[in-house]
Structures are given as structure tokens and as C-alpha cells.
């Protein structure tokens, strides 16, 4: 589905990612793990087109690395960004409609919005309230739902657990697990290595802008070792 | 009593004009952080188009109204394309100075190609008649103006709530990159903002022309300066704030004219600006400023 | 004196030399009418250097300079004009304004005092604001002052001319003023306050964290700037003999702001170069505007051409050269670069 080769990402004069290869096969969940500043978010920004990069990014064989942000979304890339970035001043329903901005099928969109409201009743209850009034966890669900409203081929999730209470994190991961079982292709960026490994088929570990190790998720055990490596905490 | 109603209607129609122009400024500002001082020259351009089309093609006022609206939309979108796109990512001051530069260019182009003296264009004057409502004499133009502004605001609200582009414009005020990540082209959203802003300018142009019956190169500058103040009072970038600020200014201006002796009439402008300076010192972000996001990672 | 101020002396001396060269050229080859043009250019130069002090260092756009210049011009004019003349030009003036006269020096000091006082008063408000708020309040000051000029015709004559002001200054004196202004602005730029202001412009929170009193530094720069505008206003009134409200409004504001941003608002040298370049350009265009004959061809009269070009300069500079011709550089930096470029690098 998504093939990245020799990707270098720059922010102004600074190069954050120094040439990495990542492959996300269709229907799988791939985790991109690493410490703060390892280049995870930069990699996602390069895939969505919001950061400058060199190298090739192929989506189902088509090179999309020269396309602008919007065109990549139309080709099937959707991002649930770090920090959620729901539109605070828009209602919950309007946020979901914005997610489907590239689609024309009004009826199907309305149906899907309703689907999310039954799937997450808390969002349904607050459908006409500004999204800014939601709690962090609810905003995260909304951000993921918004990303899915464009019916993407691949879903990019950037730190969905960041800053959330443990029970809420569990619910978010539950949601991701469910998506995976429905066959959604996912590239998951996380610092919570243990949880991410449990969800994924394949794991890449980023370190200072390079892939320091990769392999089948099962090979990383419960991820405790990796967690130590990423966080620097030795338990 | 009659006097009071006349003055209220006065305030409403003044306020309506300011609100229309202020909305045009606020829409563009909310999306790309540009204080578009060239908005006044969009209005003046509408006036000049009316003169040209009125003499060359047809004097039919209703066709002319349509032409004014179209001309304002076109020139507004064109200005974005040729002048403001290059400074889209620049800071506020750069944008502000660019807008002033564009405004000067257009004013002097009108001067160069037209005339420094007002050119008459009286096709819309018929809108301004004295009518009797009950026993009160009022100006029909003031009623049209108030009603048309109210309708325009309602239409704008529907557009901003119901259409995808409208939603995108509201969302873009908060997080433009996220709007692009939803698959909407930045150029399209911004062009729409300028088109809407131009449409509102066109509407204002029709009423200004109905009142003045003539165009001059600088006719747009003062109304936009006042509308700018309205935006500041309401909180820059806030659309309800722009409307509120516009009507508030209309009320203040009429209030100054009514309450102060006649000889102070020329100070109405000064009073309005003193008000805005005080409000800014009291609340630097305006009365109805949109909630600010704190730049935290979480 | 710190090392950058010492280097500033060199730069100021170079700029002064440039100014003196221009004046010298006028005395050698110029025609009499050009004295007026040169004088006007130097008045503009005083204003633009004054703008550099606040707008340039703090990077906050100020549009009120024309108002302060006008206040000083009127104050000085009303003080210095002889009573006999004021009986004709200001017959209805209240508070005995037409019943006294002062010497030129005292008049200038009174005008400086009034303008500086108003600068301090407005500065207390302005220095609290940030970003576009400063610009808006400065526009408000401009509009309010202009409305008062137009409203109180008994004192200011509005758009009519207030005439009969004795001619006190001429080219040599304003040349001296310009040179003093260049040294003062450069000295301020390199001083502790100037450095702090520039630091705030780049990162206000960072500067605050380093212990910079943002309010105080901004206030000092604002008041200092108004004093420059006051000197320019006084010099204007003391040369022309008549003043009216019209020149102290938006057109003049745009003209001087264009001069500042063309040169690059962060540097005093930029202010000087921008002013000279635009002045030369405008004189050429004004000549074209009158519809001159070139090689037997009568060009049409083109009113508005100068304004058009001014707008084009502003838009082009903002789009293509946002930090102006000089950017952060001063004149002596240019010379040094040249020197460095001339010495061949060892390979």
C-alpha cells in the first residue's frame, strides 16, 4: 500500500530524518516507534506533504511525493494529527463533515456521521456542541473518526494516546484494534511501545532520524525492552 | 417620537453599511490574517464599473446592480491572485503594508485613468426617496440598506454553516493546515473568502452609490477605515464581532451627531477613533475576540 | 560607549559624508529651486530616521508620525509668528494665542515640549500593546489629530493655509539637524535600549525572560521617535512659511513608510538610502506628471503617477524584498564585506 524509500525530511536548515525506508502492506497495522525527536512526526508530515522531503513515497505504486497536501488526501491518505487538532469552533457534526470534504455523496456522508454517533454515543449527545468543549479522549475519537470520514486507503495516527488518562488510552487502542480487524491499513506513531506492539503486525524503531531496528511485532515480545530504550527508564 | 425613530433608522443604516464592509474585512482576516485595506478600492472599482457599463451598455439599474456585484467579486479575487498570494505566509505587518500599497496603487490608477473630480453615476439614486411609514417620514434607502444587510448576514450564516466551503472557511480561521489535511485546496478556500468579501463590498457599493450618486478615487478609503475600527472593536477576525462593531459604530456616530452641538459634527470621526483606542487599551483583543488557542503540544 | 556604538560612529560619519556630498553638489551645480526639493527631502529624512527608532527597532508599525509632526509644526508656527501677522491669519484664535510671540528657539522648545509630552501620554498606552494593536492605535491617533486640525479652524485653519511664519531655517541648518539625527538614531540603535528592543521584536517572551523591561524600552523609543517627528515638523514650518492640515495625513504617512521599508527598517543606513532613492524617483515622476516634452514629444499630463509608483514600490518590496535593501546591515557592514571580498581567499 505505502512504500517509502530513502526519505529525508527537513525543517528549514535542520534535517530531522536522514533517509529511511518504510513499507506498510495493505490491511496491516505498522507501528513507528521512537523517543521524542526521533523523527516520527516528521515522517508523517512528509507523507501528508506538510513538510519538505526528498526520496520517494509511493501509494499503491503511484509516486505521490511531488503532490500538494490536498491531492494526497484525495488519493487516500488521512491523518489523525498529533495534538488531535479538532476544529474547536465547529460543532462535532461539522468536524465530521469537514473530514468528508473530498466526497460528494451527501447521503452516504450523513449516514456515516450517524454511524459514528451510534458508535460513540458521547459524540452523538454533543453533536451540535463546539468540539472544543469535548474532553481530550473524546477529541481524540473525533479526530480519528474525522480522518476516516474521507474513506482513506491508509490511516496515519500520530500519538493517539498522548496526554490521555490510562482508561481513556485503553479505549482509544480498543478503537484502533477494531479498525484493524475491519481491514483498515494503519501507520501508527506511538511512544507507548508496549501498547503499539500489541496492536501491530510490523514495527519500525526510529532513533535520531534513522531506522535503528525493525521486524515482526511478535519478535519484540511485550515491548518492555523497547520501552526502556525509548523512554530511557529502566524498570 | 418621530425624531427618535428617524435617528434609530439613521443609526441602523449607518451601522448596516459599516457592518457589510467590516464583515468583508473580517472574513479575509480570519482566514489569512490579512488586514485588507484595499477593500475600499474594491468598492470604488464597483463604482467605476457602474460608470463605464452605465454609459457604454445599459442604464437599467437592476442590470447595473448585478454588474457592480460581479465586478467587485472579480476584482477582489484578482487582487488576491496577483498581490496577496505572495505575502500569504508573511507576518501581519507585511500583509498590512502590502494592502496599503495595493490601495494606493488602485486609488492612483483611478486618478490616472479617471478623474480627480467625482464622476456622476446616478442610476441608483431612485432607491433614495422619502416615504411615509405611518406618520413618520423616512428614507427608503435606509430601509433597503438595513433589510439588505440583515438578509446578507443571514445568507452568509447559512453559507458558513451548511456548505462544505463555508465550514472550511470557519475551520481555516483556526487551523488552515488541518483544513488542507481534510483535502480542501488552500487556494480555493482563500479565493472563496475573497469572493464573499467582494460580494459584500459590491452590496455596500450599491448603497454608497445610491447615496452619493458619484464616484471618486478615494471614495472607499474612509468607509473602510471606519469598518476597520468596527472590526477592532468587535475583535478582529470575529464575524459576529464585525457585525456588532459595525452597528455599534453607526449608533455612536449618530449619537455624537444628535447629542453634541452641530458645530462638533466634524469630530464624530475623532470620537469613534478615540473609542477604539480606549477599547484596545482596555481589551487588546477586542470585545468579542475569538478564543485563543494556547500553543501546547497536548 | 560600547563597541557597537563605536562602530556606529563610523557608520554615522559615512552617512553624514553622503549627506554633505549631496549638499555640496547642490551648492556647486544646483539651481535655486532645487534647494526647496532638497530641504523637503531632508525633512522627510528626519521623519524616516525617527520612524526607524521605534518602528525599525521594535518592528511595530507606527502610522501616527504625521500627526506628531503636524502638532509640532503648528505649535512652533503659532508661537513664532509675529502678533501683527497673527491678527490677519488667526483673527479668532482663543486663549490669547494670537496675542503673543516668542523667539524661534523658545518656539522650537515649546513645540518640542508639547509634542514630547503628548508622545509620553500616548506612549504609556501604546507601549502596552503588541503587534497590530500598535498600528491601530497609531492610526487612531492620526485620525483624531487630523480631525481636530480640521475642526478647530480658529486655531489651525484646517485645510486653509496658516501663513506668515517667519523663515528661520535654511539648508545649512537642516543639514546639521539631519546629521545630528543620524548620529542619535544610530547611537540609540546600538545602545542597551536599542538592543533590547530588537531582541523583543525577535522574541518578546524570550526577551522578557532575560529580564528586559519591554514596556520601558518601548516607551523610551516611542517618545524619542516623537521628538524626531517634532524636529521635522518644526523644520518644516520654519522653512515653508505656511502650513495646512493636509500634508499631515495618510499620503505623507505612506510616503515615509515606503521610504523606510524600501531601505530596510532595521537599519539607519536603510532609512537614509530609502529616503534618498524614493525622493529622487518621485522628483523624476513628478516631472513626468506635468506632461513634459521629451525629444519634441509632448507627453500627456499624468496625475497620480507618483502615487501609483509609490504603491508599486511598497507592494514590490513587501513581496520580493521583505527586509528591504539593507536588511539588518548598516553602511559600514557593506564596506567591510567589500573589503573581505577583495582580499583573495587562500586556497
pLDDT digits (tens, 9 = 90+) for C322-345: 777 877 787 777 777 666 555 554
Which structural domain, as residue segments, surrounds residue A140? 2-231
Structural domain total, chain C: 1
- Whether residue B108 and residue C137 make contact (CB cut-off 8 A), yes or no, is no
The nearest CA of chain C is from the CA of B244 a distance in Å of 19
Cβ-defined contact of B298 to A136 (cutoff 8 Å): yes
Rounded Cα distance, C276 and C257, in Å: 13
Query: Looking at the domain assignment, is residue B129 inside a domain?
Result: yes
As a whole-number percent, the residues of chain B with pLDDT over 70 amount to 93
- Going from the C-alpha of C137 to that of each of A150, B275, B287, C64, C119, the distances in angstroms are 45, 10, 16, 8, 13
Q: Which residue of A has its CA nearest to B174?
A: A87
pLDDT (average), residues A110-125: 91
State residue B284's pLDDT score.
Answer: 67
| Residues A75/A47, Cβ–Cβ less than 8 Å | no
Q: Is residue B197 part of a domain?
A: yes
Residue of higher predicted confidence among B122 and A29: A29
| Mean pLDDT in residue range B245-264 | 81
Do the Cβ atoms of C45 and C272 come closer than 8 Å?
yes
Specify the higher pLDDT residue, C208 or B265: C208
- Whether residue B297 is predicted with pLDDT greater than 50 in this model: the reply is no
In this prediction, residue A78 carries a pLDDT of 93
pLDDT value at position C294?
64
Q: How far apart are CA B94 and CA C208, in angstroms?
A: 24
pLDDT at C312: 87
Higher pLDDT, B258 or C225: C225
Residue B275 lies in a domain: no
Residue C34 buriedness (CB in 10 A; 0-12 / 13-18 / 19+): middle
Cα distance from N-terminal residue to C-terminal residue, chain B: 58
* CA atoms within 13 A of residue B170's CA, in its CB half-sphere: 25
In the prediction, which pLDDT does B296 show? 34
Examine the pLDDT at B295 and tell me if it is beyond 70. Answer: no
CA neighbours within 13 Å on the CB side: how many for C105?
Answer: 0
Mutate to test the interface with B, among A36, A70, A158, A159 (most CBs of B within 10 A): A70
More confident residue, B107 or A221: B107
Using the predicted structure, report yes or no on whether residue A226 has a pLDDT greater than 80.
Answer: no
Q: Tens of pLDDT along A14-64?
A: 889 999 999 999 999 999 988 888 888 999 999 999 999 999 999 998 999
**Average pLDDT taken over every residue of chain B:** 84
Q: Sorting pLDDT into bands at 50, 70 and 90, what band is A147? A: very high
Residue B87: its pLDDT value, please? 82
Domain total of chain B: 1
Question: Does A contact B via 3+ CB–CB distances below 8 Å?
Answer: yes
Query: With contacts defined as CB-CB under 8 Å, which chain A residues touch B179?
Result: 98
Q: Which residues of C124-134 are buried (b: 16+ CB within 10 A; e: fewer)?
A: ebbbbbeebbb
Specify if B108 maps to a domain. Answer: yes
Q: Closest partner residue to B181 among A79, A83, A94, by Cβ?
A: A79
Q: Which whole number is the average pLDDT over B228-232?
A: 84
The answer on pLDDT for A66 being more than 70 is yes
- Which residues on chain B are in Cβ contact (under 8 Å) with C141? 277
> How far is the C-alpha of B101 from the C-alpha of B89, rounded, in Å?
17
CATH of the domain at C239: 1.10.3470
Question: Using CB atoms, which residue from A73, A89, A132 is nearest to B182?
Answer: A73
Which residues are within 8 A (CB) of C274 and not within 5 positions of it... i.e. 6 or more apart? C48, C258, C259, C260, C261, C262, C263, C264, C324, C325
What's the Rg (C-alpha) of chain C? Answer: 21
pLDDT beyond 90 at B192: yes
In this predicted structure, what is the pLDDT of residue C346? 47
Residue partners of B297: CB distance under 8 A and separation at least 6: A82, A83, A162, A163
CA distance C277 to C22: 13
Tell me the residue range of the domain where B176 lies. Answer: 16-218
CB-nearest to A70 from B173, B184, B298 is B184
> pLDDT, tens digit, for every residue of C137-158?
888 888 888 888 887 777 777 7
pLDDT reading at B282 higher than 80: no
Q: Which residue has the cell 517634532?
A: C230
Q: Is residue B276 part of a domain?
A: no
Q: B279, B287 in Cβ contact below 8 A?
A: yes
Contact between B277 and C303 using a beta-carbon 8 Å cutoff: no
State the Cα–Cα distance between residues B233 and B244, nearest whole angstrom: 8
- CB atoms B277 and C130 under 8 Å: no
Angle CA C267–C311–C148, to nearest 5: 85
Instruction: Tell me if B48 is assigned to some domain.
Output: yes
Model confidence pLDDT, tens digit, residues C171-216:
788 888 888 888 888 888 888 888 888 888 777 777 877 877 888 8
Would the pLDDT of C241 be above 50? yes
3-state secondary structure of A154: strand
Residue C300, pLDDT score = 62
The answer to whether residue B11 is domain-embedded is no
Quote the CA–CA distance of B259 and A68 in Å, as a whole number: 58
For residue B77, is pLDDT > 90? yes
pLDDT-derived band at A202, boundaries 50, 70, 90: very high
Domain that holds residue C100: 3-251
Question: Does a structural domain hold residue B38?
Answer: yes
Q: Write b or e for each residue in C319-338: b if 16 or more Cβ atoms lie within 10 A of its Cβ, otherwise e.
A: beebbbbbeebbbbbeeeee
Is C18 at the interface with chain B, CB within 8 A? no
Q: What is the pLDDT of residues A161-197, one digit of tens each?
A: 888 888 888 888 988 999 999 989 999 998 888 888 8
Is C142 domain-assigned?
yes
Chains in touch with B (3+ beta-carbon pairs under 8 Å) read A, C
Contact A141, A175 (CB under 8 A): yes
How far is residue C347 CA from its own chain's centroid?
48
* Interatomic CA distance for residues B252 and B272, integer angstroms: 7
Quote the number of domains for chain A: 1
- Does C293 fall in a domain? no
We report the CATH number of the domain holding residue A32 as 3.40.50.300
Per the CB < 8 A criterion, the answer to whether B25 and B36 are in contact is: yes
Work out the mean pLDDT of chain C and round it to a whole number. Answer: 81
pLDDT for C199: 82
Q: What is the distance between the alpha carbons of residues B20 and B46, in angstroms, rounded to a whole number?
A: 15
Q: Write the residue in B102, B112, B280 that is nearest to C137 by C-beta.
A: B280
Residue scoring higher pLDDT (C230 or B121)? C230
CB contact under 8 A, C135 and B83: no
Dist. CA A232–CA A224, nearest whole Å? 11
Percent of chain C at pLDDT exceeding 70 = 93
Amino acid at each position: 500500500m505505502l512504500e517509502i524509500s530513502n526519505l529525508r525530511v527537513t525543517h528549514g536548515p535542520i534535517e530531522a530524518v536522514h533517509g529511511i525506508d518504510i513499507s506498510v502492506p495493505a490491511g496491516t497495522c505498522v507501528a513507528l516507534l521512537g523517543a521524542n525527536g526521533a523523527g516520527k512526526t516528521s515522517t508523517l508530515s512528509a507523507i501528508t506533504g506538510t513538510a519538505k522531503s526528498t526520496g520517494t513515497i509511493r501509494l499503491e505504486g503511484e509516486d505521490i511525493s511531488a503532490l500538494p497536501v490536498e491531492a494526497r488526501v484525495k488519493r487516500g491518505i488521512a491523518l489523525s494529527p498529533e495534538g488531535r487538532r479538532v476544529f474547536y469552533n465547529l460543532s462535532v457534526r461539522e468536524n465530521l463533515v469537514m473530514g468528508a470534504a473530498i466526497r460528494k455523496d451527501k447521503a452516504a456522508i450523513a449516514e456515516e456521521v450517524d454511524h459514528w454517533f451510534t458508535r460513540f454515543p458521547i459524540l452523538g449527545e454533543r453533536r451540535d456542541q463546539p468540539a472544543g468543549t469535548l474532553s481530550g479522549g473524546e477529541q481524540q475519537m473525533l479526530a480519528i473518526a474525522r480522518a476516516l470520514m474521507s474513506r482513506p486507503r491508509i490511516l496515519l495516527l500520530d500519538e493517539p494516546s498522548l496526554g490521555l488518562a490510562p482508561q481513556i488510552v485503553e479505549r482509544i487502542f480498543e478503537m484502533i484494534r477494531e479498525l484493524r480487524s475491519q481491514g483498515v491499513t494503519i501507520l501508527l506513531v506511538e511512544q507507548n511501545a508496549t501498547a503499539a506492539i500489541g496492536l501491530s503486525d510490523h514495527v519500525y524503531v526510529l532513533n535520531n532520524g534513522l531506522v535503528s531496528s525493525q521486524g515482526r511485532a511478535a519478535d519484540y515480545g511485550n515491548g518492555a525492552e523497547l520501552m526502556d530504550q525509548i523512554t530511557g527508564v529502566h524498570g | 417620537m418621530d425624531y427618535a425613530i428617524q435617528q434609530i433608522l439613521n443609526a441602523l443604516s449607518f451601522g448596516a453599511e459599516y457592518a457589510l464592509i467590516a464583515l468583508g474585512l473580517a472574513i479575509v482576516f480570519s482566514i489569512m490574517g490579512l488586514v485588507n485595506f484595499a477593500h475600499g478600492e474594491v468598492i470604488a472599482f464597483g463604482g467605476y464599473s457602474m460608470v463605464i457599463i452605465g454609459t457604454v451598455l445599459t442604464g437599467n439599474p437592476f442590470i447595473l446592480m448585478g454588474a457592480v456585484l460581479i465586478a467587485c467579486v472579480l476584482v477582489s479575487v484578482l487582487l488576491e491572485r496577483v498581490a496577496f498570494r505572495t505575502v500569504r505566509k508573511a507576518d501581519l505587518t507585511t500583509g498590512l503594508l502590502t494592502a496599503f500599497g495595493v490601495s494606493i496603487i488602485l486609488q492612483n490608477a483611478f486618478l490616472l485613468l479617471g478623474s480627480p473630480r467625482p464622476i456622476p453615476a446616478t442610476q441608483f439614486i431612485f432607491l433614495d426617496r422619502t416615504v411615509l411609514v405611518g406618520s413618520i417620514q423616512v428614507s427608503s434607502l435606509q430601509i433597503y440598506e438595513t433589510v439588505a444587510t440583515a438578509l446578507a448576514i443571514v445568507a452568509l450564516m447559512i453559507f458558513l454553516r451548511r456548505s462544505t466551503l463555508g465550514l472550511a472557511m470557519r475551520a481555516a480561521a483556526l487551523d488552515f493546515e488541518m483544513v488542507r489535511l481534510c483535502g480542501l485546496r488552500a487556494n480555493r478556500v482563500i479565493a472563496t473568502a475573497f469572493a464573499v468579501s467582494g460580494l459584500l463590498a459590491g452590496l455596500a457599493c450599491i448603497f454608497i452609490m445610491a447615496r452619493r450618486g458619484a464616484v471618486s478615487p478615494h471614495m472607499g478609503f474612509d468607509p473602510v477605515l471606519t469598518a476597520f475600527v468596527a472590526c477592532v472593536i468587535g475583535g478582529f477576525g470575529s464575524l459576529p464581532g464585525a457585525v456588532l462593531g459595525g452597528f455599534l459604530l453607526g449608533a455612536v456616530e449618530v449619537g455624537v451627531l444628535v447629542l453634541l452641538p452641530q458645530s462638533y459634527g466634524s469630530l464624530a470621526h475623532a470620537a469613534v477613533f478615540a473609542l477604539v483606542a480606549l477599547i484596545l487599551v482596555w481589551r487588546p483583543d477586542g470585545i468579542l475576540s475569538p478564543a485563543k488557542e494556547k500553543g501546547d503540544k497536548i | 560607549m560600547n563597541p557597537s556604538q563605536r562602530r556606529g560612529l563610523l557608520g554615522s560619519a559615512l552617512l553624514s559624508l553622503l549627506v554633505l556630498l549631496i549638499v555640496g553638489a547642490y551648492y556647486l551645480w544646483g539651481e535655486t529651486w532645487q534647494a526647496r526639493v532638497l530641504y523637503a527631502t531632508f525633512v522627510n529624512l528626519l521623519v524616516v530616521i525617527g520612524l526607524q527608532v521605534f518602528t525599525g527597532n521594535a518592528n511595530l508599525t507606527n502610522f501616527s508620525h504625521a500627526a506628531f509632526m503636524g502638532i509640532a509644526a503648528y505649535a512652533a508656527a503659532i508661537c513664532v509668528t509675529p502678533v501683527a501677522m497673527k491678527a490677519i491669519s488667526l483673527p479668532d484664535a482663543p486663549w490669547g494665542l494670537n496675542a503673543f510671540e516668542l523667539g524661534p528657539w523658545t518656539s522650537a522648545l515649546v513645540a518640542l515640549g508639547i509634542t514630547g509630552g503628548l508622545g509620553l501620554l500616548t506612549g504609556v498606552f501604546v507601549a502596552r500593546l503588541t503587534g497590530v494593536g500598535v498600528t491601530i492605535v497609531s492610526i487612531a491617533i492620526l485620525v483624531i489629530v487630523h480631525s481636530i486640525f480640521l475642526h478647530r479652524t480658529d486655531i489651525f485653519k484646517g485645510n486653509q493655509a496658516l501663513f506668515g511664519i517667519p523663515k528661520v531655517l535654511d539648508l545649512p541648518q537642516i543639514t546639521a539637524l539631519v546629521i545630528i539625527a543620524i548620529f542619535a538614531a544610530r547611537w540609540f540603535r546600538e545602545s542597551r535600549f536599542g538592543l533590547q528592543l530588537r531582541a523583543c521584536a525577535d522574541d518578546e517572551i524570550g526577551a522578557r525572560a532575560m529580564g528586559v523591561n519591554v514596556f520601558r524600552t518601548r516607551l523610551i523609543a516611542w517618545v524619542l521617535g516623537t521628538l524626531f517627528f517634532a524636529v521635522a515638523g518644526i523644520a518644516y514650518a520654519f522653512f515653508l512659511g505656511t502650513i495646512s492640515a493636509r500634508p499631515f495625513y495618510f499620503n505623507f504617512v505612506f510616503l515615509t513608510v515606503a521610504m523606510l521599508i524600501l531601505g530596510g527598517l532595521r537599519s539607519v543606513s536603510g532609512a537614509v538610502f530609502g529616503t534618498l532613492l524614493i525622493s529622487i524617483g518621485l522628483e523624476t515622476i513628478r516631472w513626468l506628471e506635468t506632461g513634459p516634452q521629451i525629444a519634441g514629444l509632448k507627453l500627456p499630463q499624468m496625475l497620480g503617477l507618483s502615487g501609483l509608483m509609490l504603491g508599486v514600490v511598497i507592494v514590490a518590496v513587501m513581496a520580493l524584498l521583505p527586509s528591504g535593501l539593507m536588511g539588518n546591515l548598516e553602511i559600514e557592514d557593506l564596506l567591510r564585506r567589500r573589503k573581505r571580498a577583495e582580499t583573495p581567499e587562500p586556497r
